[in-house]
Structure 1
């Protein structure tokens, strides 16, 4: 007997990717139910070679559903996730609504799988921010080996991180530039076509953006509260794939070659690091792939025990949909959840 899985926000970029990944990985589901707002009811979405019709989230009965992959936004999650959890359905939430709740585990399966056991307090598990997810996959094995003191990261984040509206805006603005039409900024604060914008999410009192704050808070919760991190998050005119220039200061000595060997053996990591033209990964190659790619690993001689590296991943997959599905797989592998129909 397989599981019954609901995907909330099934018509969005991440929701559709969740459906793709569930099918690709042969997830043990007997039934998949796509959910969205009332205005999307009846919309058709693909699940493998099947077409599924979207149902309304607000009146759906979760009492016989095992897992809800929630990608409908923070406000929707705050309203619906607790009541879904109370119906005995485990919510794996992709928004920021529950990441900083002490009673909700924040999980990247390659990084902190043991923390998933705490999900029973609210029946909610949080997915980290997309830029954090790929970063911690690369940092955790190095932290285990040499102890990370401080991280300085600059992100190069694709427009898909801002949803379909962000992707549409890049496309429309690029076309407008080529045909000499007026370029209009709607989703982003400035023109994104042929430009970069050092502003992701809202500004906070200290001058950082919330996207930058998220990276600090999430790495402390998932990896080690003692790690210091500073980030500058930048939106770039790329459709899919987040890139990060990462500088790390360690407590103990570690060479670039040692780091390469550690990362080659680490789960979820793929090292592509040749000192030649094209011997590195860009977001273009990462799109549609599951791995977190690490390139340009080198020693930083300006500090003691320092390394620099380049980290790239598909933000819709490892940064969101794939990580959520991997969490669901983790629950099953650990025997923390069984199908309700079978239990009945």
Structure 2
């Protein structure tokens, strides 16, 4: 037995220089960049912007592949089960790494153990919006007006979301608990249909991603009442919910880059360095800003802690509200 163990050690040591050299030479071939959502949204668009920057700095093609389905779980699982060699990386988001682990009874991956967190990419706040005509009819001009109306008319208001367990649904439940109001949840099959339903007057309010809602806010179809970021947002003259006294209601849509677990440290550091360089470039910041996104580079250990905090926050609301996926 000792002889066999000794032989195994010798084989590992014999290959160590080769493995180290391969890591130091990284990358030597194209990199697959998995996005677990459909093309066209802010998350997909920012991923493609980042992929272009990484292609230039790594001198290798970075090929974006969309693998949507199951709330992001399908694409995230492909990253988790790929070889930990740096040639498959992917986007992970608040849904795939903080919400879904508590929402789904069975997950194909372990969000904490099956990935190497590389860096947060961006955060986009949610915005509390109403149908402008409905707000005018009910004489609601501010978030405080909405709260007062909801308290005076319990159960009369409803709110839209992209589906059970979506970010908008959880934001609504957190808001209801903090403001001590009641409202009926109306789930749609996606955030875009939910926003269209709100504009059509089918629902009264919703927590929408600012990047998605901004065009209709500017067009006057949606009335913003508050943002869920810690501070106010430039170009949007509404307070944050924390500013109104609702501490703990910082609810952002965020996404970052992940690799499979056990990625070699030298490859991890190379990717993190290049991602952070890209996020610091003025033209990238400008392109992100047009989507309502703020570049948010974060070191791997800090990113891991951030994910755990977010997972804990959403686990509580999912459990207390008894939320189940569609």
Greater per-residue strand proportion: 1
TM-score by length of 1: 0.31
Normalising by structure 2, report the TM-score. Answer: 0.32
Q: Which one scores higher on RCO, CA 8 angstroms, separation ≥ 6?
A: 2
